[in-house]
Amino acid sequence: MADRELLRELTEAFGPSGFEDEPAAILARELGKVGKLSRDGLGSVVCEVRGGSERPRIMVSAHMDEVGFLVKSITKDGYIRLLPIGGWWPQVLLGQRVVVRTRKQDLHGVIGTKPPHELTEEERKKLPDIDEMYVDVGCTDGFDVGEELGVRRGDPIVPVSPFVEMANNLLMAKAWDDRGGCGMLVEAGRRIAAERHPNTVYLVGSVQEEVGLRGARTAAEVVNPDVAIALDVSLCCEHPGKPREEVEERLKNGAAILIHDRTMIPNTRLRDFVIGIADELEIPYHLTSVRGGYDTGEVHVHRTGVPSVVIGWPTRYIHAHAGILAAEDYDAAVDLVVAFIERFDEGAAESIRFS
Ligand SMILES: [Zn+2]
């Protein structure tokens, strides 16, 4: 069952790409209880959990970074201009609270733009660009936010959005992408540490996924996996304009198994092995394709090629302040990855090998 306190801590942690210290500390604390820890040169956390056999080596990764911003510049009047880290849709930003982390302190601010009463008729017709927005941390005449508050270029910024348990077994928070996957690493780690598994598992909290899958690339060098699984959010395609029965990608439709993204076509034999487990154990699931990419986009082309799959869970409103997932979908995804680890032995690795 989803460990809600762990998920609260992980989603509320501060950690845009390149600033993953907080989520890394949580993962190191929790994964240190189940296996041998190391960090790579970019900062990814790698936890080795030895089972009954050294091979196959299974890399299970979730990225620790979240989408956010850097302080791009500070205007003379003390407004902070935004440098996006990861993909942002400008529409979701206006009027939202953020926290700016400076050397001295964390500052609360709000994202603003030229107010409606100042706009011309023409300007009112179009949506503002991120370039036209700014963060207001409380600047007024003669108050220097650099001097007084320590704000400087390059300081990281993330959304303010506390974790909440909603009705209907739904959970709302920022950064489900991919702190949800980080939670799954811990929960899967706890379960496999308590039993024998016929392989060696590497639980990886990767850095810098949102800016181009960079952490996964270096972590794959550390692990040198035989197979890889990325745990990450999948998308919800349900909305008021579309009848729910027409979309498989919807809340409470189980774990998601990827069939295609922009960076990878999952290994079909490994994918079918995962589907076979879900069918056998009656773990609810659906198939999905997404337009983005996951850590496995890098890992599957590591060295001579690594069979890889993605297991996700449908999440609404990713890359925004308040994403929503269903606890039972998250649990189904954890069950599926644990069942995979329990079953994927040398014989199974042989059965998916090209020959
Ligand atoms: Zn992600």
Distance (Å) from CA 326 to ligand 1 centroid: 17
Whether the per-residue pLDDT at 320 is higher than 90: the answer is: yes
Give Cα 258 distance to the centre of its chain: 15
Angstrom CA distances, 321 to 15, 24, 205, stand at 14, 21, 22
Distance (Å) from CA 265 to ligand 1 centroid: 17
pLDDT score recorded for residue 303: 96
The total number of residues written for the chain in this structure: 355
Question: Does residue 209 carry a catalytic annotation?
Answer: yes
Confidence at 71, pLDDT banded by 50, 70, 90:
very high
The answer to whether 180 and 315 are in contact (CB under 8 A) is yes
- Burial environment of residue 6 by CB neighbours within 10 A (0 to 12, 13 to 18, 19 or more): middle
Confidence at 94, pLDDT banded by 50, 70, 90:
very high
Residue 28, helix vs strand vs coil: helix
Strands 200-206 and 45-50: antiparallel
d(Cα 134, Cα 132) in Å, to the nearest integer? 7
Higher per-residue confidence, 217 vs 196: 217
Distance (Å) from CA 179 to ligand 1 centroid: 9
> Average per-residue pLDDT in the chain?
96
pLDDT score recorded for residue 243: 85
Pick the catalytic residue: 9, 187, 209, 210? 209
pLDDT score recorded for residue 224: 98
Average pLDDT score over residue span 63-88: 97
d(Cα 84, Cα 69) in Å, to the nearest integer? 4
- Burial environment of residue 241 by CB neighbours within 10 A (0 to 12, 13 to 18, 19 or more): exposed
Whether the per-residue pLDDT at 46 is higher than 90: the answer is: yes
pLDDT score recorded for residue 273: 98
Distance (Å) from CA 121 to ligand 1 centroid: 39
Distance (Å) from CA 233 to ligand 1 centroid: 6
Closest CA to 140 of 97, 95, 78: 78
State the CATH architecture for 4-66+174-352: 3-Layer(aba) Sandwich (3.40)
> Can you give the pTM of this predicted structure?
0.96
d(Cα 23, Cα 13) in Å, to the nearest integer? 6
Distance (Å) from CA 332 to ligand 1 centroid: 18
List all residues 6 or more positions away from 292 whose beta carbon is below 8 Å from its beta carbon: 87, 261, 262, 263
The answer to whether 71 and 80 are in contact (CB under 8 A) is yes
Whether the per-residue pLDDT at 127 is higher than 90: the answer is: no
Average pLDDT score over residue span 207-220: 96
Average pLDDT score over residue span 223-246: 94
Strands (DSSP E) contained in 236-295 are: 255-260, 285-289
User: Ion ligand 1 — residues with CB under 5 Å?
Assistant: 177-178, 232
Whether the per-residue pLDDT at 245 is higher than 90: the answer is: no
Distance (Å) from CA 131 to ligand 1 centroid: 24
d(Cα 324, Cα 143) in Å, to the nearest integer? 39
The answer to whether 135 and 111 are in contact (CB under 8 A) is yes
Q: Which fold has domain 68-159?
A: Elongation Factor Tu (Ef-tu); domain 3 (2.40.30)
Where in the chain are the domains?
4-66+174-352, 68-159
pLDDT score recorded for residue 271: 98
Distance (Å) from CA 221 to ligand 1 centroid: 20
List all residues 6 or more positions away from 72 whose beta carbon is below 8 Å from its beta carbon: 80, 81, 82, 83, 153
